[in-house]
Amino acid sequence: MSIHLFDFHLSQEQEARAKRLHEESIVIDMLYQGPMSPLNFTDEVTEELKRRCEKYINDPNDYVFRIMNEAANMAAQGYLPEFRDLWLQSGITAGNRQITGGKDSRGMEDSIQWLAAAQQQFDSFDWLVKATKGEHIRHAKREGKVAGMVTTQDTVWLGTDLENLENMYKFGLRVIQLTYNQHNHVGAGCTERNDAGISNFGVKFIKKMNELGILVDTGHTGRQSTLDACEISDAPVIASHTACKAVSGHARGKDDYTLEAIAKTGGVIGVVTVPQFLNQEKERPDMDDFLDHVDHLVKLVGIEHVGIGTDWPMNMPLFIQEMIATKIAPTIGFRAQDKLPTSDSLLGFEQYIEAINITRGLVSRGYKDKQIKLILGENWMRVIEQVW
């Protein structure tokens, strides 16, 4: 699969510098949907996924998430070499391997298929390391391997028994997003009609995360819940994947006051590559829109608090990505005004092997080598090594 190099009008010297920086840096994507993208799924692979998951087709939620897991399963069985090749070609050192509570995120029992799918990858691929501390990521970089960080985007499935949190920590869970758009036991999400903040149980939950050494993530968390988390947590708070509301006005973004609160905890804010989250006016948002959010954050909170959390495109065939936007999104708190893309990806980041465009873009914006390395991964490494 060929790489589309976004036209930043770089000189030969700048191109060489970007290539060097991308190769030698630790690159961390804190909301990594890869390694594959819709462009990488051939008709043959897509038909095989449909065949394997056909019995679930009457339940759109289950069908979508089964196909997501089945792609990794095919790779573990040796049928999808692209899974490995694309990750290694991308230059991304570490990305999350996401677990949740099954098709509706309601309980621990439904989470088994997700836990199994994540562990199968670690057991099957000798090039993939389960990262439960920072040194695992640095070791993977030295050895020419990649690292997977076990994360989740909701807390509903963990219930209200904090022993579940302890057990998931033992499994390797190291990043937990407090809410996903809507209300849960912990607090309110970013698309709820009210702004309720963190619950009494949520206070206990965050303190337990601090005790265990799990990163507190506020990517989809509502404004007051995010501010509360920053006040409650004894450790840095992050937003694994978000945008700047001051730049795009999107509800999935965070306002400047909230972004500053996250930074004051010592945390890091990851910028997404979801097109409409970055620019709601442009017909086809591109890498320059992504960089506008990076620039805004650097000026607002300082370069030490800026990272990457792409969240798009999805690791699935295009028809499944379209199903998520049209059938699944309305059931998990997305509204029509949120403009979740169906088929579009960010121009310049349509597949994960184009990650070098992030580095090239940072070069084009005049960032120095040390600054680029901070944004690419060292900022995430700082909070990982502190918290884990």
* Domain assignment of residue 163, yes or no: yes
| Residue 7 belongs to a domain | no
Cα-based distances in Å from 294 to 220, 223, 242: 18, 20, 11
Asked, for residue 3, whether it belongs to a domain, the answer is no
Residue 140 maps to a domain: yes
- pLDDT tens-place string over residues 367-382: 999 999 999 999 999 9
CATH code of the domain in which 353 resides: 3.20.20.140
Structure tokens at 225: 């819940």
Could you give the CA distance from residue 310 to residue 348 in angstroms, rounded to a whole number? 12
pTM of the model: 0.96
pLDDT (0 to 100) of residue 209: 98
Residue 290 counted as domain residue? yes
- Token duo for residue 155: 């807390």
Q: Give the count of alpha carbons within 13 A of 384, CB side only.
A: 28
Query: What count of other Cβ atoms lies within 10 Å of the Cβ of residue 20?
Result: 12
Residue 335 belongs to some domain of the structure: yes
Amino acid at 36: M
Average pLDDT value for the chain: 94
Domain that holds residue 189: 12-387
pLDDT band at 107 (very low <50, low <70, confident <90, very high): confident
Q: Could you report the per-residue pLDDT of 126-160, keeping only the tens digit for each? A: 999 999 999 999 999 999 999 999 999 999 999 99
* Structure confidence by residue, pLDDT tens digits, 60-89: 888 988 898 899 999 999 999 999 999 999
Average pLDDT over residues 304-314: 96
The number of folded domains in the chain is 1
Task: Confirm if 315 and 71 have CB atoms less than 8 A apart.
Answer: yes
Report yes or no: 321 and 313 within 8 Å, Cβ to Cβ. Answer: yes
pLDDT band (50, 70, 90) for residue 342: low
Which two three-digit tokens encode residue 134? 């920072």
1 falls within a domain: no
Task: Indicate if the pLDDT at residue 169 is higher than 90.
Answer: yes
Show the 3-state SS of 49-112: HHHHCHHHCCCHHHHHHHHHHHHHHHHHCCCCCHHHHHHHHHCCCEEEEECCCCCCCCCCHHHH
Name 100's Cβ contacts closer than 8 Å, sequence gap at least 6: 65, 111, 114, 152, 153, 154, 157
What does each C-alpha distance from 131 to 135, 149, 171 come to in angstroms?
8, 5, 11
Report if residue 332 sits inside a domain. yes
**Per-residue confidence (pLDDT) for residue 207, from 0 to 100:** 98
pLDDT at 102 over 50: no
Q: Is the pLDDT of residue 110 over 60?
A: yes
